Structure 1
Amino acid sequence: MSANSLQSLFKVNEVEIIYRNPTPIQDRISIKQSSTAYQVFRQTWDENKIELLEQFKILLIDRSSHCLGISEIATGGMSACVVDPRVIFAIALKTKSSGLILAHNHPSGGLKPSEADLSMTNKLVKAGNLLDISIIDHLIVTTQDYYSFSDNGIMPKPS
Structure 2
Amino acid sequence: MSEVSSSLQAFECLRAQINPYAEEVWLIALNSQMEAIKIEMVFRGTADHCLVHPRDIFRILILCNASSFIMAHNHPSDQVLPSEQDLILTRKIHQASVLLQIPLNDHIVMTKTQYYSMADHGHFKKWKKNKDLYLY
Normalising by structure 1, report the TM-score.
0.76
Aligned length: 128
Structure 2: distance between partners of 1:155 and 1:32: 14
* Aligned match of 1:83: 52
Structure 1: distance between partners of 2:87 and 2:135: 14
Question: What per-residue deviation string (whole Å, max 9, x for no partner) do you get for residues 11-51 of structure 1?
Answer: xxxxxxxxxxxxxxxxx1011111111011113x15xxx22
* Aligned match of 1:62: 31
Structure 2: distance between partners of 1:82 and 1:146: 21
Shift of residue 99 of structure 1?
0.7
Do residues 109 (structure 1) and 78 (structure 2) align?
yes
* Aligned match of 1:152: 121
* Aligned match of 1:29: 2
**Residues 158, 104 of structure 1: alpha-carbon distance in 2 compared, 3 angstrom cutoff:** farther
* Aligned match of 2:14: 41
* Aligned match of 1:6: none
Q: Tell me, which stretches of 5 or more residues in structure 2 are unaligned?
A: 126-133
| Equivalent position amino acid for 2:69 in 1 | L
Question: What per-residue deviation string (whole Å, max 9, x for no partner) do you get for residues 92-118 of structure 1?
Answer: 000000111000000100011111000
Structure 1: distance between partners of 2:46 and 2:124: 25
Is residue 125–residue 158 contact of structure 1 (8 Å, CA) maintained in 2?
Answer: no
Do residues 124 (structure 1) and 93 (structure 2) align?
yes
Q: Provide the alpha-carbon RMSD of the alignment.
A: 1.5
**Residues 141, 158 of structure 1: alpha-carbon distance in 2 compared, 3 angstrom cutoff:** farther
Do residues 74 (structure 1) and 43 (structure 2) align?
yes
